Structure 1
Amino acid sequence: MTTISVTTPQLQAPAPYPRRWAALVALMLPVLLVSVDNTVLSFALPQISADLRPTGTQLLWVVDVYPLVLAGLLVPMGSLADRLGRRRLLLIGSVGFALVSAVAAFAPTAGTLVASRAALGFFGAMLMPSTLSLLRNVFVDREERRLAIAIWATGWAAGAALGPIVGGLLLQHFWWGSVFLLAVPVLVVFLVLAPIVLPESKDPAPGPLDPVSVALAMVTMTPLVWAIKETASYGVTPAALVAAGVGLASGYAFVRRQLRRPVPMLDVRLFRVPAFSGGVVVNLLSVFSLVGFLFFVSQDLQLVHGLAPVNAGLALLPGTVAMVVAGLAVVRVVRRLPAQRVVATALCLSSLGYLLVALLGGSGALAPLVVAFVVLSVGIGAAETVSNDMIVSSVPAAKAGAASAISETAYELGAVLGTAVLGSILTASYAASVVVPDGVSPADAAAATETLGGATEIAASLPAATASELLASAQQAFAGGVGTTATIGVVLTLVAAVVALLTLRETRR
């Protein structure tokens, strides 16, 4: 009797993409650009206030509308990238972003600038989900992918911190529109490099495009964020309640629709995975803290401490370097320690940065501000690296675009909330506390009570004694608002640390 021996073939891991590290370099260009664009306006706000004379609400919308549009479109664009091709959508978004950036640079009015920023948000939404999902498909080895995501997350966070530095350098020599022209040469380089080093990838079985889900996603995000902005500025108004109700109802309808569809645009069941949902919350609150801090510190360094834009930007350089180092160093730390403890410790460290600012009050000391940003940056750099690794690694590669879009939505929503909540509270606190001296015209008095930049501009045309009195009152009012917003930052980062401990408890690295 003859015995036949059968050898079972072993499954082999996919061969690594030979140009994966060059692809990472190329993908970092749009990541840095979109991240820088979130905060590059921070140091340009005084010049925009002086040149375009926006109201306080308009000034907030100049900052907010970009991440607001991004937040509403990231999930639909991530799903579209899975269907049409991630590289293809990335290239389309890059061309549109470069063209609109050139238009924004020469905006003649605050309204035109707001519209240009909204268009930038539309094309920016095509960029971010594609970058992280392409990384998920290019790096098939887990350890290599973790390092690549660490570089990606560090680049995004560092880009947000580099925004004021780059803006300061440009504003030292050019007008405020130069911060938008920065995008053009960066994207030209990317458009040359990307077709060479980036492979195309898409979902092999994406299902049909769902316009109803796209509309529901946008109608969920936009009214909710607007309601938060309205409540932060004016309290709980009937309009804010209606907008919040519309957003919540649309969100409920969106979730129900995704659960019923055989191939949903967004698989909301992913939120049942603790590592996924916890990572999303960490992303949101980390960026909330970072952007909220940058909103007031950029104005404080220029308008209170009197630093030139370039020097104010350089004052934040130590924190940016610390963020990069922490994001890369945590890759080794998380191999030995439970991820939930690493993330929670990092967030507690970030809360100490806010606590230092809250304790400063109106002391006007520069060095503690710099130290506070370093402490905040170390915590955020470490927390975001781990959270992004959890999010991307918890989904199949074919669904990387949609999952990456959720991660990016958390980033952009955090950017919106950081400015909308903390910025609106700061603006309202400032307007309620500033005292305009007698002898100032009603129009100038209104401008001085809108923003600290407006008060500084008006003071330049007043007699010395009146100008000194106005500036002292404005700076004191601004310092009081900073103390309030910093206290809120402490509470929220501590809440994020607790969420990390509870939701990431089962995750080990």
Structure 2
Amino acid sequence: MSRDDRRAYLALAVLALPTMLIFLDITVLYLALPHLSADLGASGTQQLWITDSYAFLMAGSLITMGRIGDRFGRRRVLLWGAGTFGVASLLAAFAPSPELLIVARGVLGVAGAAILPSTLALITTLFRDSRRLSTAIALWTTAMMAGVAFGPVIGGVLISHLWWGAVFLIGLPVVGLLLATGPRLLPEVRGAGQDRLDPASVVLSLATILPAVWGLKELARAGWRPGPVVALMLGAAFALTFVRRQRRLRFPLLDLRLLASPLVSGALLIGLLVAGVQSGTSLLAVQHLQLVEGLSPARAGLWLLPPAIALVIGMNLTPLLARRVHPARILAGGAVIALIGQLVLTRVPATGSTGVVVCGLCVAYLGVSPVGPLVNGLVLANVPPGRSASAASLPSTGGELGVALGIAAMGSIAMLVYRRELHVPPGVSAGPVQEGLVAAGSVAGGLPGPAALELLTAAREAFTASLTVVSAVNALICAAIAVLALKMLHTPYPSEHAARQDRRNS
């Protein structure tokens, strides 16, 4: 290996670490949520905002940050995002209130949006050879999915030995490494300078997402009231305005022509749906291990190692399998495997369910493991070269939006089922208990022994019912993903052999 190659792979390692950190910050909070909620007094709605404000603001800012990177330089935007990420991590770790923690998580999301597209754009600059570029992108995707998978494990270990704020401090060494080595290892890359950022499109994109999220959360909390319904209608109206504006602009924030190909749009839709299923399942399963099974954060994290390993193994086997099997069939088969895993989770009992939960997660994670490598490959292989920079941000945007939608939608469904199935013992105020299992535990702490046990048993059974219902919904989504993969991704996929044959003919 030449000196330039060693330098490129060293730079890849520096870029892979913040990529893993960005996605780790989504799931590392799962095990910390009960602890910080009890410490800060966060309500059920505030807990949802704490978990998914990060992912929603990242999803809404990814394309905008990609445009800014094109104009001002990818390395510059990457380093700015890393510095901001470090400062926001400190604010989140020592936040004295749920409101400040929500704000800090939002800033983390915007900073993450500055980092993510810059890493992939710099990788395409570091590796010009197509074979090495494919390997580098696979490693980048592995880092991304490893962050999602190992977040709960790392969070569990930290919470067991430190306090909940420690989960936000794990990014500081990575940020320091990137700021120290980035200026020397990473090249500066700028676009042609022709694209102009449209501020109105940026505002419209956020105006589309935020009212929709708030409306969904309020529907879960307060039911069908005028406020949430109006918010959802406003989000839909802003979405239509955004689409119409993009079609008129010479330099749109989102080039809608990229979505004209069924391969591109189908791959992005599958990526969004899988991200939603995986994030919603993980959130509830992790809380079930802690709040229902009573596992410590460290033990819950260790029990989550097998699903994480299954995900990483399946993801690294995907490129080998794709040389022999069409990606549409791989994705469809994986969706069927994930469906089986979700069906296992619908059989989770209220007590003694650790083995069932872990088994279901292993099967479900293995089923979704091909999505990361294949969706990125399908999108980048089926857009014109002149649009590759814009296309590179689309899978990440869809994935981030899918994670946030999954947490919001599945969390909202779980809350509705929990409240419907919860039977509050006589003499206990139903209001606080209906905020969630953490709140039920706090109320039970002030009750006599038999009444406390009755309340906790009822709350755990209601939470288990919410997990089984969400798993059933996710199973239906997995079936839809399998059909989508076979219907929309059935066209020929360019293999390496075909690419070599094309080069010989040219």
TM-score scaled by structure 2? 0.92
Work out whether 1:158 is the aligned partner of 2:146.
yes
Contact preservation (8 Å) 1:288, 1:417: yes
| Match of residue 348 from structure 2 | 360
Residue 459 of structure 2 corresponds to which residue in structure 1? Answer: 474
Offset, 1:398: 5.7
Letter in 2 for 1:240: P
Q: Which residue of 2 aligns with 1:379?
A: 367
Provide, for residues 73-106 of structure 1, a one-character-per-residue CA deviation record: whole Å limited to 9, x for no partner.
1121122112211111111000001001101111
- The Cα of 1:287 is off from its aligned counterpart by 1.1
Residue 499 in structure 1 maps to residue 484 in structure 2 = yes
Unpaired segments ≥5 residues, structure 2: 496-506
In 2, Cα distance between equivalents of 1:176 and 1:398: 45
2:293–2:351 Cα contact (<8 Å) kept: no
Structure 1 residues 434-473: aligned runs within 5 Å:
434-440=422-428, 442=429, 445-473=430-458
Counterpart in the other structure of 1:13 = none
- Partner of residue 3, structure 1: none
Indicate the residue corresponding to 1:346 in structure 2.
334
Q: Are 1:485 and 2:467 an aligned pair?
A: no
1:192 counterpart (159, 180, 195): 180
Q: What is the CA–CA distance in structure 2 between the aligned matches of 1:494 and 1:133, rounded to whole Å?
A: 34
| Aligned residue in 2 for 1:9 | none
Corresponding residue SS for 2:188 = coil
1:298 and 2:283 are equivalent in the alignment: no
| Equivalent pair of 1:82/1:399 in contact (CA under 8 Å) | no
Question: Offset at 1:224?
Answer: 2.8
The two structures have a TM-score, normalised by structure 1, of 0.92
Q: 1:261 aligns with which of 242, 249, 259?
A: 249
1:419 paired to 2:419: no
Listed as ranges, the gaps of 5+ residues in structure 1 are: 1-15
Secondary structure, in 3 states, of the residue corresponding to 2:151? helix
Pair 1:94 & 2:79 matched: no
Matches of 2:105 and 2:298 in 1, distance apart?
24
CA spacing shift, 1:132–1:40, aligned 2, 3 Å: same
Q: Which moved more, 1:77-86 or 1:256-265?
A: 256-265
| C-alpha deviation, 1:249, in angstroms | 2.6
Q: Distance in 2 between matches of 1:368 and 1:412?
A: 28
Q: Is the 8 A contact 2:413 2:470 kept in 1?
A: yes
Match of 2:272 among 248, 264, 284: 284
Structure scoring higher RCO (CA < 8 A, sep ≥ 6) equals: 1
In the alignment, which residue of structure 2 is the partner of 1:119?
A: 107
In the alignment, what sits opposite 1:129?
A: 117
Cα deviation for residue 243 of structure 1 reads 2.5
* Residue 30 (structure 1) aligned with residue 15 (structure 2): no
2:319 & 2:449 partners in 1: Cα distance? 55
Q: Percent identity?
A: 38
Match of 1:8 in 2: none
CA pair 134-394 structure 1, distance change in 2 beyond 3 A = farther
Q: CA deviation at 1:422?
A: 0.7
Could you give the per-residue CA deviations for residues 215-260 of structure 1, whole angstroms, max 9, x where no partner exists? 1222222223333334444555433333233223322232222222
Tell me what 2:501 maps to. none
AA aligned to 2:93 is A
**2: CA distance between counterparts of 1:79 and 1:282?**
25
Q: Deviations over 1:364-408 (max 9, x none)?
A: 421121111111111222122111111233345664443232222
**Quick one: which amino acid aligns to residue 69 of structure 1?**
L
**Alpha carbons 1:79, 1:266 under 8 Å: kept:** no
